Amino acid sequence: MTNLASAQTTPSVLAPSIAQLCDDVDASLRGPAHAIASGDVSGGMALLFECLDAVRSARSTLDWERFRNAARAHPLRSLLQEDPLIRRSCTRPRGYAGDAEVIDFIYRDGRSLPDDCTPIGTAVHRAAVAVEPAAAVRRRLDHIVAEIDAFAEQRGAIGALSVACGHLREAERSVAIRTGTAGVVALDQDVESLALVERENAGRRVTTMRADIRHLIAGRAIPGEFDLIWSAGLYDYLEERAARKLTARLVSMLRPGGRLLVANFTPRCSCVGFMETFMDWQLVYRDDRDMQRLAAGIAGVTTRIDHDETGAIAWIDIARN
């Protein structure tokens, strides 16, 4: 039986452990004496989360890629994809892992699964949405909503822009958006996401705009000027050069006294090994210095770095003077 102690030893010991690790977790999910009957799914999944993070931290990039490929060849991968969240992340029907439907699964926190979800899929899903990255995504939404409402109360009616808006779930919870105190331009490249935003926000001061980041950076997409701009998940996919160019462009769209809020996962986040291995979901992680560099060279601004309660997500808050 694989245990965390053996997985945290040396790289030479780690190499042959992947088959045994996957075998053990697979058995904990399938076995009639395990999983559903005994509630051992959480234990098996916790073992998988922790072991994969331990391997990832001990391996070179190349060795980690080989390890992941070996894990993906195991039947456990198919079993884990009985969870619709994991399956959608891997199959990428909209072209990328963390699409708006995936994020909605995380927001719902185990509620409203499809009727055809299997018992194992349901149990795996509950474990997957309980891990730190998923909890951090929900805290990220809470943070944005609080900032929208506080800023609108401070300034009165505001114009806002959500960059890579997804399904704009902020609109469901923000008092300022629901009451019309905040008008929002919802920008995304995903036509299906924008269609849902339009349907669900009819009658609100919410308009949609289809554009990708290249259009924004190049100035071919001009949404307007805003009091508040936020980008919750986009920067997790951007390399530094594009991220800095986009930041400068977004700051140029702020009115005096306006603010840009950008979130990014940090290297402190756990369960990254599982995300990369079994969800095919790779992010760009940034620490405080990386976040500060996003605003380097932009004149006339004041910046502040904040974190969520576990340090899994960092925020840069850029105010235009």
- Asked, for residue 277, whether it belongs to a domain, the answer is no
Residue 190 predicted with pLDDT over 70: yes
Q: What is the pLDDT of residue 189?
A: 96
Structural domain boundaries, residue 23: 1-80
Does the CA dihedral 20-25-26-31 come out positive or negative? positive
Domains of the chain: total:
3
What gap in Å lies between CA 216 and CA 126, rounded to an integer?
Answer: 37
Per-residue pLDDT tens over the stretch 232-251: 999 999 999 999 999 999 99
142 and 231, same domain (yes or no)? yes
Confidence class of residue 31 from pLDDT cuts 50, 70 and 90?
Answer: low
118-146: average pLDDT:
95
219 and 202, same domain (yes or no)? yes
Task: Give the CATH number, domain containing residue 181.
Answer: 3.40.50.150
183 and 288, same domain (yes or no)? yes
122 and 237, same domain (yes or no)? no
49 and 86, same domain (yes or no)? no
- Asked, for residue 276, whether it belongs to a domain, the answer is no
Per-residue pLDDT tens over the stretch 87-101: 999 999 999 999 999
192 and 315, same domain (yes or no)? yes
DSSP-assigned states of every residue in 41-90: HHHHHHHHHHHHHHHHHHS-HHHHHHHHHHHHTSTHHHHHTTSHHHHHHH
Confidence class of residue 6 from pLDDT cuts 50, 70 and 90?
Answer: very low
- Asked, for residue 63, whether it belongs to a domain, the answer is yes
242 and 315, same domain (yes or no)? yes
What gap in Å lies between CA 72 and CA 90, rounded to an integer?
Answer: 11
Question: Sheet harboring 182-188: ordered strands across?
Answer: 206-210, 182-188, 158-163, 226-231, 254-265, 313-320, 301-307
Q: What is the pLDDT of residue 40?
A: 67
26 and 97, same domain (yes or no)? no
157 and 60, same domain (yes or no)? no
49 and 97, same domain (yes or no)? no
3-state DSSP of 198-226: HHHCCCCCEEEEECCHHHHHHCCCCCCCE
- Asked, for residue 223, whether it belongs to a domain, the answer is yes
146 and 258, same domain (yes or no)? yes
- Asked, for residue 27, whether it belongs to a domain, the answer is yes
255-278: average pLDDT:
97
Which domain-ending residue is among 55, 80, 105?
Answer: 80
Residue 81 predicted with pLDDT over 60: yes
107 and 228, same domain (yes or no)? no
Residue 13 predicted with pLDDT over 70: no
